[in-house]
């Protein structure tokens, strides 16, 4: 691995000074950490409700229904966080990869 | 009871762990010919794949990572397969059957680790790693020391997990197939050896993919057949379940299971970050051609896992009505008593109730296939730690030829297989539940902190990684020994010194703290170089420039 590192060291240094690279790392970090905070925040909020106010999740969906709020809320957490992975993967595979490709090409030019 | 259910729930990711406990008392069942026949078909099919894979496997890269030639979708199925075990189906559906909504709460905890892995780890793993996660950790640190440490961490996790799998396999197969425990363990061990030694990662991945498809199809079919009894209405299902369950209306909301928040927090922390420290899961990120496919694979995997978990919820609630009111599934026909075959057989009973013996046989064969697929992945991860990290890098200092490395891998696989069979038989009568706590505790407090800091923190030094990693390891080990699972259950003391089953809440922060403190105080010249090398590693992590490419064929 390290021999690989030295081989590319020159190119790496060149890349770091590229403003597009700075933009790439800034955008990626912002998206990745916000989504992490969103998903974990949602999960911890849910756990707090489970522990502190379980009654909220135990409310019937409508009068006389035996289905409770907890069922759609739980399913929503799973589906929503999956959709967020979709959002990240799409952005990374288009926008970030384009930026990263441009950065690498410019470094070799 | 609480501890038992926490363990039972944990089994969602650790195939068959929970089964190991409760099933121990299970009686051997009559020979199940449907199940054996269908399993035979599966083995025949996978052996043909292994034969095909063996012809493709020429280099070490083919052997460890399928030459990086697995597509994102295929790898997504394989990752999901590693995660969705027989115990996800059996353990979680049983948990919902017994506890209702609490089972759902646990299930969500098993799920949320995956989005986080997508956001923070998938592309960096692929861009920085080649064969093992030690590649990433030792990228800018001392190769010899770090690889020795990483191999030690990997092998500890792999061995604990293999024992759990083998014991679970033996018990489950005895119950479902009516085979002897010893025969079951030997059959699993030998098939695993054949897949790994001849087919390497290509065969291991395809076995996992086939099994994932079978499990998804089997679970979904079962849920549909069960729901047809309720006119496909969740409302009807909920109403009937509340009517017949002994806890009544309580099964539709959070209940008593989370009464001990510290134990619950420690469990979910161990789960959340333990996955990201399991060598056989991490290895999967090296089998795709590039970071783009790595990201896609976690997206697909997360989708399959989420879908499957929702299906399992439906199974659990349906079983409350269909299995819970049918005397044929209870010991002595008493529906207030114990289920035949122990508390984890709910999904199997449901299969019999709605699909008859043939469907039960199919599901049993899928469960067997699941164990095989997981132990193969584990054996491969263990063997690559021995041959790639210890032999090729530490002992031979990178001078080993591919042939030598491959030979060592195969010898290591045989060694691990024999150890797994022997320990599996040795531990037959033991309660191996503590090994689950140990596996996830070590993964979350040893492998994960070092890996994530190597990827994200410039300040990490070799000394910090070693001190912190070993503190995490020793702390996790000590806490597990002092926990109820070992101190009370295995050693027979009256009261546990450490009251929780899972060490992660304590051992993981300790590992992070020691790593950061020691790294920070490290003034050696080597440490300065290591910090400086982060910049180049960072460029590669971000752009993939210099990352290991897929081999062409």
Rounded to the nearest 5 degrees, what angle is found at the Cα of B455, between the Cα atoms of B451 and B458? 115
What is d(CA B214, CA B81) in angstroms, rounded to the nearest whole number?
Answer: 10
ipTM: 0.90
Report the share of chain B in percent with pLDDT over 90: 50
Nearest to A92 among B108, B116, B123 (CB): B123
Residue B418 clears pLDDT 50, i.e. is over it: yes
Cβ separation of A65 and B235 shorter than 8 Å? yes
B70 touches chain A (CB under 8 A): no
DSSP string, B411-441: HHHHHHHHHHHHHHHHTTTS-THHHHHHHHH
* CB contact B535 to A (< 8 Å): yes
Select from B252, B301, B541 the residue whose CB has the most chain A CBs within 10 Å, as the one to mutate to test that interface.
B252
Q: Which residues of B touch A16 (CB under 8 A)?
A: 535, 539
Q: Do B108 and A71 touch (CB under 8 A)?
A: no
Q: Does B387 touch chain A (CB under 8 A)?
A: no
pLDDT tier at B352, thresholds 50, 70, 90: very high
pLDDT value for B341: 77
Q: Compare all CA atoms of chain A with the CA of B118 and give the residue at the minimum distance.
A: A85
B288 compared with B16, residue with greater pLDDT: B288
Flag whether A93 is in a domain. Answer: yes
Cα separation, B128 vs B139, whole angstroms: 8
* Residue partners of A57: CB distance under 8 A and separation at least 6: A49, A50, A68, A69, A70, A73, B101, B253, B254
Rounded Cα distance between B294 and B274, Å, is 19
Residues 6+ apart with CB under 8 A from B433: B7, B17, B18, B20, B21, B485, B489
Shortest CA distance from A32: residue in chain B: B119
pLDDT at position B87: 67
Instruction: Please check whether residue B274 is in contact with residue B440, taking contact to mean a CB–CB distance below 8 angstroms.
Output: yes
Residue with tokens 């035979």: B40
CA distance B512 to chain A (A): 19
Tell me if A41 is assigned to some domain.
yes
Per the structure block, which two tokens stand in for A89? 């993967």
Instruction: Answer whether residue B13 shows pLDDT above 60.
Output: no
Total count of residues recorded for chain B: 553
Task: With respect to residue A42, please indicate whether it lies within any of the assigned structural domains.
Answer: yes
Contacts of B401 (CB under 8 A, 6+ apart): none
Whether residue B170 is predicted with pLDDT greater than 90 in this model: the reply is no
Contact B123, A28 (CB under 8 A): no
Name the residue range of residue A36's domain.
Answer: 24-108
Residue B403 sits at the vertex; the CA angle it makes with B400 and B409, to the nearest 5 degrees, is 85
pLDDT confidence tier of residue B258, bands split at 50, 70 and 90: low
Q: Is B450 exposed, middle or buried (0-12, 13-18, 19+ CB in 10 A)?
A: buried
Chain-chain contact of B292 with A75 (C-beta, under 8 angstroms): no
- A3 is a domain residue: no
pLDDT band at residue B257 using 50, 70 and 90 as cut-offs: low
For residue B232, give the DSSP letter. Answer: T
Among B79, B105, B119, most A C-beta atoms within 10 A, so best to mutate, is B119
pLDDT at B409: 92
Residue A17 resides in a domain: no
Burial class (CB in 10 A: 0-12, 13-18, 19+), B494: exposed
Sort out which chain A residues have CB atoms less than 8 A from B105's CB and list them.
47, 50, 74
Read off the pLDDT of each residue in B401-421 and give the average, rounded to a whole number.
92
Average pLDDT over residues B319-333: 91
Q: What is the DSSP letter of B335?
A: T
User: Is the minimum CB–CB distance between B542 and chain A shorter than 8 Å?
Assistant: yes
Nearest Cα residue in chain A from B131: A1
Q: Would an 8 Å CB–CB cutoff place B490 in contact with chain A? A: no
* Interface contact A1-B109, CB threshold 8 A: no
User: Does A8 map to a domain?
Assistant: no
Predicted pLDDT of residue B12: 38
Give B-chain residues touching A53 at CB under 8 angstroms: none
Decide if B369 contacts B204 (C-beta within 8 A): no
Structure tokens at A31: 């998206």
For B132, list phi and psi in degrees, rounded to 5. Answer: -135, 165
Most confident of B29-38, B304-313, B438-447: B304-313
DSSP string over B177-223: H---HHHHHHHHHHHHHHHHHHHHHHHHHHHHHHHHHHHHHHHHHHH
Give the residue on A whose Cα is nearest the Cα of B233.
A67
Minimal Cβ distance to A70: which of B242, B254, B306: B254
Mean pLDDT score of chain B: 87
φ, ψ for residue B490, nearest 5 deg:
-85, -45
Contact list in B for residue A107 (CB cut-off 8 A) is: 545
pLDDT digits (tens, 9 = 90+) for B277-288: 999 999 999 999
**How many separate domains does chain A show?**
1
Measured CA to CA, the distance from residue B297 to residue B204 in angstroms comes to 17
Q: What is the pLDDT of residues B461-491, one digit of tens each?
A: 999 999 999 999 999 999 989 988 888 888 8
Assess whether pLDDT exceeds 70 at residue A4: no
Q: Which two tokens stand for residue A42?
A: 């949602």
Average pLDDT over residues B363-387: 90
Res A64: pLDDT: 85
Most confident of B200-204, B393-397, B438-442, B448-452: B448-452
Domains, chain B, in order of start with CATH, read: 2-430 (1.20.1730.10)
pLDDT value at residue B550: 63
Contacts of B546 (CB under 8 A, 6+ apart): A4, A5, A7, A8, B540
**pLDDT value at B324 more than 60:** yes
For B462-521, give the DSSP string. Answer: HHHHHHHHHHHHHHHHHHHHHSIIIIITTT--SS-SS--S--HHHHHHHHHHHHHHHHHH
Indicate the DSSP class of residue A93: I
Of residues B226 and B167, more confidence is placed in: B226
Q: How near does any CA of chain B get to the CA of A43, in Å?
A: 7
Which of 310-349 (B) contact A at CB < 8 A? 310
Higher pLDDT pick, B294 / A11: B294
In a domain, A2, yes or no: no
B50-85 CB burial, b ≥16 within 10 A, e <16: beebbeebebbbbbbbbbbbbebebbbbbbbbbbbb
pLDDT the model gives residue B459:
94
Residues in B touching A92 (Cβ below 8 Å): 123, 291-292, 295
Is B303 in contact with A82 (Cβ distance < 8 A)?
A: yes
Residue B15, pLDDT > 60, answer: no
pLDDT band of residue B500 (cuts 50, 70, 90) is confident
CA distance B244 to chain A (A): 13
Nearest to A68 among B115, B253, B544 (CB): B253
What does the block give as tokens for A56?
A: 């909220």
The confidence score (pLDDT) of residue B269 equals 85
**Token pair in block for residue B107:** 């299930």
Residue A1 maps to a domain? no
pLDDT tens figures, A35-90:
999 999 999 899 888 888 888 999 999 888 899 999 999 999 999 999 999 999 99
**Which tokens is B229 given?**
């009894």
B309 shares contact with chain A (CB less than 8 Å): yes
Tell me the nearest-neighbour CA distance from B50 into chain A, angstroms: 30
What separation in angstroms does the CA of A30 have from each of A25, B119, B456, B539?
8, 11, 14, 17
Q: What is the pLDDT of residues B92-148, one digit of tens each?
A: 888 899 889 988 988 888 888 899 999 999 999 999 988 899 999 998 999 999 999
Give the residue from chain A lying closest to B540, CA to CA: A12
Band the pLDDT of A9: cuts 50, 70, 90: low
Q: What is the pLDDT of residues B45-84, one digit of tens each?
A: 989 999 998 888 888 888 889 888 899 999 999 999 988 8
The SS3 assignment for B339 reads strand
Output the six-digit token pair for B98. 């017994």
B109 touches chain A (CB under 8 A): yes
Please report the pLDDT score of residue B1 as a whole number. 36
């Amino acid at each position: 691995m390290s021999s690989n590192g030295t081989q590319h060291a020159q190119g790496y240094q060149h890349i770091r000074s590229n403003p597009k690279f700075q933009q790439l790392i800034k955008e990626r970090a912002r998206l990745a950490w916000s989504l992490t905070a969103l998903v974990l925040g949602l999960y911890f909020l849910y756990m707090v409700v489970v522990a502190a106010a379980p009654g909220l999740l135990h409310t019937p969906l409508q009068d006389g229904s035996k289905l409770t709020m907890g069922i759609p809320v739980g399913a929503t957490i799973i589906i929503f966080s999956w959709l967020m992975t979709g959002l990240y993967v799409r952005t990374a595979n288009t926008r970030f990869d384009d930026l990263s490709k441009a950065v690498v090409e410019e470094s070799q030019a | 009871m609480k501890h038992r259910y926490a363990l039972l729930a944990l089994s969602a990711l650790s195939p068959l762990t929970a089964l190991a406990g409760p099933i121990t008392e299970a009686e051997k069942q009559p020979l199940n010919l449907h199940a054996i026949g269908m399993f035979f078909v599966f083995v025949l099919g996978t052996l043909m794949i292994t034969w095909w894979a063996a012809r493709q496997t020429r280099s070490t890269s083919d052997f460890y990572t399928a030459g990086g030639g697995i597509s994102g979708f295929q790898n997504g199925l394989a990752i999901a397969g590693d995660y969705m075990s027989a115990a996800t189906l059996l353990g979680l559906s049983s948990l919902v059957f017994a506890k209702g909504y609490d089972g759902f709460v646990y299930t969500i905890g098993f799920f949320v680790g995956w989005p986080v892995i997508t956001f923070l780890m998938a592309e960096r793993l692929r861009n920085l790693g080649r064969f093992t996660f030690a590649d990433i950790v030792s990228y800018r640190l001392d190769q010899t020391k770090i690889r020795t440490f990483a191999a030690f961490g990997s092998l500890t996790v792999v061995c604990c997990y293999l024992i759990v799998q083998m014991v679970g396999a033996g018990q489950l197969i005895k119950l479902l197939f009516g085979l002897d425990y010893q025969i079951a363990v030997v059959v699993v061990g030998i098939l695993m050896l054949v897949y790994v030694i001849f087919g390497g990662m290509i065969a291991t991945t395809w076995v996992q993919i086939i099994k994932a498809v079978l499990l998804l199809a089997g679970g979904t079919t079962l849920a549909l057949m069960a729901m047809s009894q309720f006119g496909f209405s969740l409302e009807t299902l909920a109403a009937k379940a509340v009517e017949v369950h002994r806890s009544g209306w309580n099964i539709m909301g959070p209940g008593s299971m989370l009464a001990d928040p510290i134990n619950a927090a420690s469990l979910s922390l161990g789960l959340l970050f333990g996955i990201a420290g399991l060598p056989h899961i991490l290895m999967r990120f090296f089998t795709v051609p590039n970071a783009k496919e790595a990201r896609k694979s976690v997206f697909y995997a997360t989708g399959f896992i989420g879908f499957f978990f929702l299906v399992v919820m439906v199974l659990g609630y349906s079983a409350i009505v269909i299995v819970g009111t049918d005397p044929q599934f209870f010991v002595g026909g008493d529906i207030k008593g114990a289920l035949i075959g122990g508390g984890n057989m709910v999904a199997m009973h449901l299969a019999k109730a709605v699909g008859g013996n043939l469907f039960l046989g199919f599901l049993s064969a899928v469960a067997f296939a699941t164990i095989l697929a997981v132990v193969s992945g584990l054996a491969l991860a263990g063997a690559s730690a021995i041959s790639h990290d210890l032999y090729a890098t530490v002992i031979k200092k990178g001078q080993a030829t591919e042939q030598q490395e491959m030979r060592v891998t195969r010898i290591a696989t045989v060694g691990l297989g024999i150890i797994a069979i022997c320990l599996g038989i040795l531990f037959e009568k033991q309660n191996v539940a503590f090994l689950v706590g140990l596996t996830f505790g070590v993964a979350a407090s040893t492998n994960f902190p070092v890996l994530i800091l190597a990827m994200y923190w410039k300040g990490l030094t070799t000394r910090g990684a070693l001190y912190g990693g070993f503190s995490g390891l020793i702390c996790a080990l000590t806490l597990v020994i002092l926990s109820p699972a070992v101190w009370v259950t295995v050693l027979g003391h009256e009261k546990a010194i450490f009251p929780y089953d899972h060490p992660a809440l304590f051992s993981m922060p300790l590992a992070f703290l020691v790593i950061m403190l020691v790294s920070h105080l490290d003034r050696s010249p080597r440490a300065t170089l290591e910090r400086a090398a982060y910049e180049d590693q960072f460029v590669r992590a971000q752009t993939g420039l210099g990352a290991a490419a897929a081999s062409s064929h």
